[in-house]
Amino acid sequence: GSVIGILGGGQLGRMLSVAAARLGFKTAIFEPGGDCPASHVANFHLQAGYDDTAALTRFAESVDVITYEFENIPTSALDVLEKLRPIHPGREALRVSQDRIIEKDFLTGLGLTTAPYRAVNSEDDLRAALDEIGAPAILKTCRFGYDGKGQARLSSAEDATQAWADMQGAPSVLEGFVEFSHEVSVIAARGANGEVACFDPGENVHREGILRTTTVPARLSASQRTDAVLLAGRILNALDYVGVIGVELFVTPQGLIVNEIAPRVHNSGHWTQQGCAVDQFEQHIRAVAGWPLGDGGRYADVVMENLIGDDMDRIPGLARNANVAIHLYGKADVKPGRKMGHVNRVILS
Ligand code: ATP
Ligand code: MG
Ligand code: MG
């Protein structure tokens, strides 16, 4: 049988490995850390750093196709891997999503709407950008941010010095604060032959920068739902994409505004595990393996809730509920803000 190589050993790699196993594939994880969530369920774990060319070569040669669970894979590592095996989604999706300014340039170039944004590389830049965009605004590092890390909110120009200090000199982007009514995301997929399938948009609630819940169906009009699905398709086609993508959107009276894209399975798509015949993880494996896609149809309403840090204490209670599916990531240490698992509450009509 074929072996699917996955870069990254977190919970997304773990759930991709489970889906791959169900389809008869073996999985190999490349992950610098030792006891990682994916290594508990994958067939092979190569523990090495992304600067270890010999290890990267060995990894690529041991698999048939390479995918990944996070977008910050160093370019030098991709150069090594790409010469040996196909990588899906491809380099362009990674290049675009690794840097918030390149990403926003790409999205606006497609005719999509983002928050107003300006590059910021100094406190002077920040003050000039604030003059143009106005407050409130959010300053974000261009690279490596997740779960709201590497961000500072500015309610007025008085916050500029502190906000720039928070970036620790990293190239950054100032975004105008979007007055959204709510947040939704589209999880979509494109197959090797160019077919596109979208899951129903989910409505996302964040707390302290971290996703807490995703609810389907989202509060969207029929035309908003169509817009969301079409814009996801436009992004997928423009990137000649193969795999699952997550597209985060702000809902405003003026229309949908794209916040960011993630070239991988996405936390806000975990509801598909209980809501769809083919969930996002199987969908991604199907795409990278060149199989036909599931159609993304939804057969139940679902509320996905992340279990973060001490939320783990609630598991005995949650386990008593017959309509709650529990997904735990096997992480040994509970830390504040750490995603330990999630539950999908299925609401049968
Ligand atoms: P993720 O874990 O989703 O990758 P991230 O660290 O990349 O998160 P963002 O998605 O950019 O961060 O921002 C986190 C949250 O902060 C958003 O979901 C939204 O609630 C809020 N936010 C970010 N940018 C803006 C904006 N321009 N206007 C209003 N709210 C924003
Ligand atoms: Mg992000
Ligand atoms: Mg986000």
Which of 259, 270, 308, 338 to probe ligand 1 with, by most ligand atoms within 8 A of CB? 259
What mean pLDDT do residues 2-15 have?
Answer: 98
The mean pLDDT value of the chain amounts to: 97
CATH code of the domain in which 33 resides: 3.40.50.20
Q: Give yes or no: residues 322 and 210 share one domain.
A: yes
Q: Which ligand 1 atom is nearest residue 175's CA?
A: 27
The rounded Å distance from CA 211 to ligand 1 centre is: 10
Decide if 96 is inside a domain: no
| Residues, CB within 5 angstroms of ligand 3 (ion) | 248
- Conformation bin of residue 13: beta by default, left when phi > 0, alpha when psi is -120 to 50: alpha
The tokens of 20 are what? Answer: 């791959």
Same domain, 124 and 208: no
Tokens of residue 337, six digits: 């803000």
Q: pLDDT of 287-324, one tens digit each?
A: 999 999 999 999 999 999 999 999 999 999 999 999 99
Query: What's the 293 CA to ligand 3 centre distance in angstroms?
Result: 25
Per-residue pLDDT reduced to its tens digit, 107-126:
999 999 999 999 999 999 99
Whether 1 shows a pLDDT value over 90: the answer reads no
How far from 320 is each of 33, 49, 249, 311, CA to CA, in Å? 34, 42, 34, 15
Task: Check whether residue 339 and residue 198 sit in a common domain.
Answer: yes
Q: Do 186 and 201 belong to one domain?
A: yes
The reported pLDDT for the residue numbered 23 is 98
Q: Summarize the confidence of residues 170-174 as an average pLDDT.
A: 98
Q: Is 183 in the pocket of ligand 1 (CB under 6 A)?
A: yes
Task: Tell me, yes or no, whether 155 and 52 share the same domain.
Answer: no
Which structural domain range is residue 133 located in?
116-176
Question: Is 70 domain-assigned?
Answer: yes
Say yes or no: 255 and 235 in one domain: yes
Ligand 1 atom at minimum distance from 148 CA: 6
Residue 92 is assigned to a structural domain of this protein: no
Q: What spatial distance separates the first Cα and last Cα of the chain, rounded to whole Å? A: 40
Is residue 267 one of the residues assigned to a domain? yes
Predicted local confidence at residue 240, as pLDDT: 98
Mean pLDDT of 35-50: 97
Mean of pLDDT values over 191-200: 98
Q: What is the ipTM of this complex?
A: 0.99
> How does pLDDT run across 214-227, given as a tens digit for each residue?
999 999 999 999 99
- Give the pLDDT confidence of 248-265 residue by residue, as tens digits: 999 999 999 999 999 999
In percent, the amount of the chain with pLDDT more than 90 equals 98
Do 209 and 311 reside in the same domain of the chain? yes
**Number of structural domains in the chain:** 3
Looking at residue 44, what is its pLDDT?
98
Q: Is the pLDDT of residue 92 over 90?
A: yes
Is 111 inside a domain boundary?
no
175 is in an annotated binding site: yes
Query: Would the CB of 167 count as within 6 Å of ligand 1?
Result: no
Within a domain: residue 234? yes
Asked whether residue 95 is assigned to any structural domain, the reply reads: no
Q: Is residue 104 part of a domain?
A: no
Q: Domain containing 148 — which CATH number? A: 3.30.1490.20
Residue 262 CA to ligand 2 centre (angstroms):
7
Residue with tokens 């994958």: 42
**Which ligand lies nearest the alpha carbon of 204?**
1
Question: 140 and 240 share a domain?
Answer: no
Q: Are 159 and 193 within one domain?
A: no
- Asked if pLDDT for residue 50 goes beyond 70, the answer is yes
Residue minimizing CA distance to atom 20 of ligand 1: 206
Does the beta carbon of 160 sit less than 6 angstroms from any atom of ligand 1?
no
The stretch 221-235 carries a mean pLDDT of 97
**Ligand 3 centroid – CA 247 distance (Å):** 9
Is 311 marked as a binding-site residue? no
* Whether pLDDT at 349 is above 80: no
Mark whether 334 and 245 lie in a shared domain.
yes
Determine contact, residues 343/298, Cβ cutoff 8 Å: no
In a shared domain, residues 17 and 125: no
Q: Identify residues whose C-beta is under 5 A from ligand 2, the ion.
A: 260
How does pLDDT run across 140-163, given as a tens digit for each residue? 999 999 989 999 999 999 999 999
Q: What is the CATH number of the domain that holds 242?
A: 3.30.470.20
